[in-house]
Chains A and B, each alone.
Chain A
């Protein structure tokens, strides 16, 4: 139970040149339409209990793929085979009628999801408890806030643990409290063996929930691998411009480095230095360090911005900024120039392994012009040499007072 196999799935929408073309096609039996392919030759399989993230820019075909997997839309080619019950959180609140009470709507919505009335009746107390909408459960749904509707809809959709759960970004609705709550329910399902398929743009939710990610681009699967690697590739694609190249290199430790850019400026060297100007790989919690970067200019540039991002082991951003935000003006650079930037900061971050990504671009994002983008440009570890014991992602040393 919980296996999902997508085999050579393709989806094409028919496009007719004129209003009468379809009628003529049906009558004559000769095709008169063009096909617009939104998905092509998608194949992958998901094992029971696996959690897979699907990412891609808008229009890459993510939603269509999910709709085909859930059976809402028919694939033009290929097939999907599923073992077990599927629940999809693609569209919350389907089957809700504004004039009926929450309780009545729970029944219809649950039945629309394929549950039996007696199953729903059994789940009703749990659904009420999870939605936390109190007495509103017996009020017409039109009196609900949109957040309350989402809560109730989510509670119904996840009332019975499915074998496969398909989640679209619908989860980003609702307040922070309910988001946490819904995420922990999804996590619970996962621990109990539910196969998970998530579509999201949110790096942290993909990386914290999924063990694997699939990148879709213009209807093709272009990458299928561990989430950090795929997310880096995805970011590189976003930044990709004409003539830019995306280069993927496997590092000695097995991790994959992605770099891209048009190459007018490049980072020649990058190092993390201690107080004695020695390059270090291990630093103490809270130690003052310097990030030293040397940049070579390969073409005359009116303007340049350097940015860096420190990421943790999971690839989640810990801290990032750039020279634009720091007020450093780098203008009128000539071919052959060499620049040195030194960023000094205390390493007030938690224990663990970190990586630094760098970007050379104009304006305040790497989207406008991307000269170079490099993931995993530098790696370092934070260890606790002489601080008090603590846990967490950051070092926030407190003063403590004790009164009695």
Chain B
């Protein structure tokens, strides 16, 4: 039951929050690339900081087992290419995967087109996977986390990321006022 119900509840809550933050609109999203409207940056970095502080302290209080949290593997070359493809798609459509679903759910046609394009891309990649498998698995670096990569204590990294977020928010607000 929880396998389906819990992700559904979390997904609806996530979508609702994105829509309330105004991220169902491609106009608002592309504003980020022209430094006019940095809502995406602020929403995503806020979510990141909230999740990070939540995970750290829930782990510290013994509520969750951090070792059981899945850390995705890093593959430098294929993920770099994927990142570039993602960025180009983001600028062209003005939407990312989550916000395209929100846009589609609220009846925006550009959202429906982006979701359709996304599923077509997933299908094509899946079909092409046998022929691109060597590249897909190339340059593996394992499951790397920031404390491992920077060789810093976990708590120091948490503090650094929160500080970067708060400074980033200040800069973002100034840029928005100037625009």
Tell whether A pairs with B. Answer: no
Instruction: Show the binding face of B for A, using Cβ within 8 Å.
Output: none
Binding site for B on A (CB under 8 A): none
